[in-house]
Structure 1
């Protein structure tokens, strides 16, 4: 399984331009070479590289298409795009095992107004993918394609994400909507506020393609792959991303051929390569949707002028960070269902003691935190505030 072909290296160089500081990033993107079409593959690989560089830097990826189109017409370009991307160069291009790899170097000035709380990582819960119609997996015996897709997706997300800590749930969540008790249990047991669910809506075979078949062999057929993905904030009951991805490729095997999706052989097929590209795109979309979300720390203990938070160095919290206390109260919505309501207070606390997964923070003014309760929350005060 080709999982490490996409790489991202931060070049530890800084350039001074007036009062702004740019970092040089080098990123390698990859795309499947289909039917010898190097132009299309080069464009897809370049877009992949630019997207990864922007994501890693913390800049927005809304300029990817504009940057990519510019790179395809010249080897170096200078682009003013909301102060984010200044200079982008194609460093190298290689072809290997049916892939085009393009390495770019970019000078990026992240937009200072883009996101707050970027230093903190969100806990993302991933529900194992499911095949909606398992009868479609009969040919090829692709019953493990949901498990394999989950593994590859998580690998891609780990490669591209600077915003999340990823945890795979032990079982798939199939409910369309979760109850308050279900949502509370997920947050309590796994520490995650964000949930990703996905299903393989279509892995069926299409009509015969081409003429390379005889009476002793099966005809080549097109095979589809449709991924339906939903990313949600289970605390706010808010959908952050709902997206359908689809692709197809020639399935050049006899109907009796068994090929496990957990093998290298499968992922070297045209079908496997097409799926990998879809999963890579999905992972990058999830990263983009998550990274500007405000992270909250739950208060698990109150001791006079100090509170214990369930965030630590693992999530990127640092000693000296200041946070605002949020009061959490429950209320019933118009359907009679319990919901959380957060109210911003004027109380501020500063992190004094830090472990990997928790932190003690004390009142900035050493005031008693009498109105603060276990279950309230705190959010990081941005340097921009």
Structure 2
């Protein structure tokens, strides 16, 4: 079985939201977590957190408010999540222990809020690369030199399955760790190359193993190994060069493997382990945070082809584009400051455009009024505002 399985049982509408928009709604959810090394309480907390998170996400997670849920059920834990609902009460429905996992069912009394921006209608394209391990020698334990490659792909998969406002459409197949001063210009280049709006840079800062020696009085116990993981991320707007997201996540979790034997970075054995389970939580947190950071930013598409009075743009069905959508047209000018750093300015075009045809990753737009789209060239932009 997987380390964590999440089952959303039901969302029970106790009051009609349309008639009573300020009233609460009961959401019912169930979470499951594996029990490692007999640590039932840790598994219970994880399963409970997953259930609460699912109830919150089901009610809509888009506004950057942080709830601290300390309600008897989690009286010894401070659980934080960004969501668009205010949590009034949480009730424990059921708690069942199985041989190797625990199931927790809860009901949450949530005041849902309306989405605060229309820009979230479209998913924004994000490109990232493999994540380099800063201290390469730390990957020797387990022979996990390609762990950063797998981690980037796992983040992409999580985003494609669960992100509501963003879409990691490409993972470039190489390690890339630019200096901070290089990231802005590199974001311009990488975004244009891959048809992305945002560029996500990542680096594994720490990947080392710590060993705690067993007590001499308890010589029968083995030494305890823990593995650290620190992931540093920053994301830049590929059109303006502005940094829109930055975060560092770290964990220290038991390492359940022989330190002298290799393990496949993409194996179920690794990702079902205690360390793998903790890393999955990092992945979920990162994807949610990235998704929220772009939720209310305008969705940009790039003009990739000009054919008469029709323009092909690099966003399509995957981004939520629909036939009949109206978009704003921009032109871009680039200049360099005295320090030779690139800057871009955007100029609004007088003609708005409408989507005529939609494909998986592209769309065809034309002027709403039928007027000529003068001076528009590839690499100019359309925007959903």
Q: Which residue does 1:77 correspond to in 2?
A: none
Kept in 1, the 8 Å contact 2:8–2:29? The answer is yes
Q: Which residue does 1:203 correspond to in 2?
A: 207
Greater mean alpha carbon deviation, residues 106-115 or residues 314-323: 106-115
- How far is the alpha carbon of 1:106 from its aligned partner? 6.2
- How far is the alpha carbon of 1:20 from its aligned partner? 4.6
**2:227 is the alignment partner of 1:223:** yes
Q: SS of 1:65's equivalent?
A: strand
Kept in 2, the 8 Å contact 1:218–1:254? The answer is no
Q: Alignment partner for residue 378 of structure 1, among 374, 377, 382? A: 382
- How far is the alpha carbon of 1:206 from its aligned partner? 1.9
Report the Cα distance in structure 2 between the residues aligned to 1:7 and 1:245, rounded to whole angstroms: 26
Matches within 5 A, 1:125-204: 125-166=127-168, 167-176=170-179, 177-178=181-182, 182-204=186-208
In the TM superposition, what whole-angstrom CA distance separates every residue of 1:80-104 from its partner, at most 9, and x where no partner exists?
A: x976668876665555675545455
- How far is the alpha carbon of 1:245 from its aligned partner? 1.4
Report the Cα distance in structure 1 between the residues aligned to 2:199 and 2:98, rounded to whole angstroms: 36
Per the alignment, do residues 163 and 145 of structure 1 end up closer, same or farther by CA in structure 2, a change over 3 Å counting?
A: same
Q: SS of 1:248's equivalent?
A: strand
Please list every run of 5 or more consecutive structure 2 residues that lacks an aligned counterpart in the other structure: 76-82
Q: Which residue does 2:67 correspond to in 1?
A: 65
- How far is the alpha carbon of 1:295 from its aligned partner? 0.9
Report the Cα distance in structure 1 between the residues aligned to 2:113 and 2:348, rounded to whole angstroms: 27
- How far is the alpha carbon of 1:327 from its aligned partner? 2.5
Q: SS of 1:170's equivalent?
A: strand
Report the Cα distance in structure 1 between the residues aligned to 2:325 and 2:247, rounded to whole angstroms: 36
**2:278 is the alignment partner of 1:286:** no
Per the alignment, do residues 113 and 269 of structure 1 end up closer, same or farther by CA in structure 2, a change over 3 Å counting?
A: closer
- How far is the alpha carbon of 1:41 from its aligned partner? 4.2
**2:340 is the alignment partner of 1:329:** no
- How far is the alpha carbon of 1:158 from its aligned partner? 2.8
Per the alignment, do residues 234 and 304 of structure 1 end up closer, same or farther by CA in structure 2, a change over 3 Å counting?
A: closer
Kept in 2, the 8 Å contact 1:219–1:252? The answer is no
Q: SS of 1:148's equivalent?
A: helix
Per the alignment, do residues 360 and 175 of structure 1 end up closer, same or farther by CA in structure 2, a change over 3 Å counting?
A: same
- How far is the alpha carbon of 1:174 from its aligned partner? 1.6
Kept in 1, the 8 Å contact 2:188–2:241? The answer is no
**2:365 is the alignment partner of 1:364:** no
Report the Cα distance in structure 2 between the residues aligned to 1:10 and 1:340, rounded to whole angstroms: 48
Q: SS of 1:237's equivalent?
A: coil
In the TM superposition, what whole-angstrom CA distance separates every residue of 1:100-149 from its partner, at most 9, and x where no partner exists?
A: 45455668775335222212111111211221112112233333332332
- How far is the alpha carbon of 1:186 from its aligned partner? 2.0
- How far is the alpha carbon of 1:301 from its aligned partner? 4.1
Q: Alignment partner for residue 236 of structure 1, among 221, 233, 240? A: 240
Please list every run of 5 or more consecutive structure 1 residues that lacks an aligned counterpart in the other structure: 75-80
Per the alignment, do residues 282 and 210 of structure 1 end up closer, same or farther by CA in structure 2, a change over 3 Å counting?
A: farther
> What TM-score, normalized to structure 1?
0.79
Alignment coverage as a number of residue pairs: 374
- How far is the alpha carbon of 1:228 from its aligned partner? 1.6
Q: Which residue does 1:266 correspond to in 2?
A: 270
